[in-house]
Amino acid sequence: MVNIFSVPNRIYHGDNAMDVLTTLEGKRAAIVTGGSSMKRFGFLDEAKEKLEKAGMEVLIIDGVNPDPTLQECLEGGKKMEEFGPDWILAIGGGSAMDAAKAMWVFYEHPDYDFEKLVAFDNPPLRTKARMVCIPSTSGTASEITAFSVITDPEKQIKYPLVHPDFVPDIAIIDPRLPAKMPPLITAQTGMDVMTHALEALVSTAADDYTTPLAIRAIELVFENLKKAVDNGEDMEARTKMHDASTLAGMSFSNASLGIVHSMAHKIGGIFHLTHGEANAIMLPYIIDYNRKGTDRYELIENILGVDDIAEEVRKLNAAVGLTNNIKEGKNTEISEEEFKKVLDEMSKNAHADACTLTNPRETSPEDIKKIYECAYYGEKVDF
């Protein structure tokens, strides 16, 4: 069988890696960004100035919301159609980068059916523009990956869109950007990195190309996340976390993920728990569940010299100020009544999520429901 290992054509990393923008060749660039942080810290202006120095006219599409919706991607695509960029530059967290990827589709193919994207039926990209991504969180690694996660608010579902064409052309890993993250966002996005690496490690599609990247990312997160949360100005920890995110991205983009992401996508879509925190909470429960389907956790336990990786994840969650059950989620208090009301449907939808396909233990909507219940009440998974 022939497999594909796909990463951006160029990954520039290190302090001031953004300088490379002055060397891009093109006429027009559209910058896609989120609410305010990139503007506030001066990185939006810096990117714009560097592109202008490269001789480009620049359009800014800002205000992308966390967990971007289909509607805002359609609107962004329209603005791009009017402007006609040959580069799309996304600067911000996973939300800005994911939205830029979907806008790119609607720019190049204005009437494309979203249902087709959900079914991984993508039209060809790069007929009009190429993509540069500059992540500001050390988290999703959308700057590396073939994924874009878009929410349909009507259905209250987050859809992972997946296609090799979504892998950006250029990724710029500049640690000055995530150094501005406050502790809570650092913790949540950092645990997203841990989840990517651990899910890629045990994925049924893991191979010798993806495994070493996942292992190194896990080591780096255990060594550096708490340091970055405790002291945001620790640039060594920030750099290591930013690199860990990229390494984990290279791994999971090619090995795919598992049911931590399936379940986090669905609970996040309904209760607006952040992506990172939903993963952080679900991860240890699912390690306990998946043990019956894989011995790959032992690989990392041996390397780290620990007995139980699930327990280490719980300890790290607590050390960086995150909770270990859904009920106490930082952003949302989910009442038992509301939770019970959506549980069956949410479990079915999580089972149908694309990430379930590569989970190391075969699962069912019934098992997923039981795992959600354990994670809600903080009970051990022992089935």
Q: Which of 90, 103, 130, 189 binds ligand NAD (CB under 6 A)?
A: 189
Residue 10, beta-bridge partner list: 170
Q: What is the DSSP letter of 236?
A: H
Q: What is the DSSP letter of 69?
A: B
What distances in angstroms separate CA 176 from CA 137, 167, 173, 188, 235, one per listed residue?
10, 23, 9, 18, 8
Does 139 bind ligand NAD (CB under 6 A)? Our answer is yes
Q: Which of 69, 122, 148, 210 binds ligand NAD (CB under 6 A)?
A: 148
Does 329 bind ligand NAD (CB under 6 A)? Our answer is no
Q: Give the nearer residue to ligand NAD in terms of CB position, either 188 or 347.
A: 188
Does 140 bind ligand NAD (CB under 6 A)? Our answer is yes
Residue range at the interface with ligand NAD (CB under 6 A); choices 88-96, 104-112, 292-300, 314-322: 88-96
Q: Which of 90, 177, 215, 273 binds ligand NAD (CB under 6 A)?
A: 177
- Applying the rule CB under 6 A, the residues between 40 and 79 that interact with ligand NAD are 66-67
Residue range at the interface with ligand NAD (CB under 6 A); choices 53-61, 89-97, 300-308, 329-337: 89-97
Q: What is the DSSP letter of 33?
A: E
Does 108 bind ligand NAD (CB under 6 A)? Our answer is no
What distances in angstroms separate CA 77 from CA 30, 71, 147, 157, 275, one per listed residue?
10, 10, 18, 21, 25
164 backbone dihedrals φ, ψ, rounded to 5°: -55, -30
Task: Write down the residue that tokens 């719980």 correspond to.
Answer: 314
Q: Which of 192, 243, 277, 288 binds Zn ion (CB under 5 A)?
A: 192
| Residue 66 interacting entry, from ligand NAD, Zn ion, none, C-beta within 5 to 8 Å by type | ligand NAD
Residue range at the interface with ligand NAD (CB under 6 A); choices 91-99, 126-134, 211-219, 333-341: 91-99
Tell me, by CB under 5 A, how many residues bind Zn ion.
1
Instruction: Write the CB contacts of 201 (distance below 8 Å, at least 6 apart in sequence).
Output: 211, 214, 215, 218, 251, 255, 296, 297, 299, 300
